[in-house]
Amino acid sequence: MIKKKLLTAVAIFTTLTGLTNISRAQSETKFIQDNLALCQKQVKAMLASKDLAANTFPQTIKDGKLRSGTLYEWTTGFFPGNLWYAYEAGKDAGLKAQAIQWTEKLAPLQTFTEHHDLGFMMYCSYGNAYRLTQNESYKQVLINSAKALSTRFNPVTGCIKSWNVFKSWHGKESYSYPVIIDNMINLELLFFASKVSGDTSFRHIAVTHALTTMKNHFRPDNSSYHVVCYDDKTGKVLARETAQGYADNSTWARGQAWSIYGYTMTYRETKDPRFLKMAQGLANYYIDSKNLPADFIPYWDFNANQAGYTPGVNSNANKINVKYRDASAAAVTASALLELSTYTTGQTAKKYKDAAVKMLHSLASLEYFAATGSNADFILKHSVGSIPHNSQIDVPLVYADYYFMEALLRYQKLNAGLKLY
């Protein structure tokens, strides 16, 4: 009798546990679907906005209105990318047509060589366009873009030059070969081009850049410097400073996010365990930081306004006492962690996925997700462009929306038991 009761109790517990897990999965499925539907609604509203000009690309808000940038600004690829993600989420033919139209406006950039952001500009737009349409002409545009980006690589420094010049916040010093952590994201364009063209030089540049960055851009605790300046004749590191972070020795939140994303992607493309170890160390720094708020949406810099961290004399960060949040950093990190969780196992994988899901739920809350008809139709609020430059402070940013949608779509695949790649 006792044995029978015990078996019955086990059966009931198993059934209830199974129902709980099913219920939780159903709840998360609805969370994803609801938020993707809201994202599509916001994207469509922006397309209909009277402030959306035909030949400029949405960036942020200024004076309460939509602010767009020219073709050559680093953010141009994100709005077409948002259209592709919105189309992917709902298979709306009208959104696909708009995505094609806005993507093809970027065609002149395939020979652009003036800065490193060609990966953002072309892979977020044409990369998604090719993935979702298999249009062969898009593949050639991406190969041409990779060729253009490759012109900024110097084998002496072992990395791709980011900007043409970097002016220090400390005074009049300037550097002619700056490399920023953001550059890790642009390597995805090179890996793609190598695979589809058979040209191994693209892959060589990407791997070399990742290894050089791994050597020079990080501290022993796996926090990241923003800018590393090189001597292009000797390859020597001349300075490690910040452009958009609080101080040279601080950790700019979106920079850390770029690094997590970049090394996770580089591991995907190479399966080199050094890159996986790097990605995990960078992710652990973010998740385990005592300076990370409870909702996992970071302050714009992990060390802002703390003792021992001093901005350069010319930095606007000296004038800012508010510790602003940066939703864009959380969106990038959430997307990266979801992918990283698939390359790890057990409690480590759970740690990364749980952190990503927590970020997504925070971003989807009323605190960060804009109400319909507000926020100039951007999806997320409370991002930071560059406090040192006194630019785009506590505003929506188009790339925050891009990586939020990307993370939701990745979560949707994982929730359905599908592979990301």
Q: Which residues are known to be catalytic? A: 117, 182
Nearest to 277 by CA among 335, 192, 332, 348: 348
Structure tokens given for 94: 């009208």
- C-alpha to C-alpha distance for 350 and 361, rounded to whole angstroms: 16
Rounded alpha-carbon distances, angstroms, from residue 250 to 24, 218, 281: 39, 11, 17
Nearest to 385 by CA among 97, 127, 75: 75
- Count CB atoms within 10 A of the CB of residue 54: 7
What is the amino acid identity at position 216? N
- End-to-end CA separation in angstroms for the chain: 52
- C-alpha to C-alpha distance for 36 and 28, rounded to whole angstroms: 12
Contact 282, 253 (CB under 8 A): no
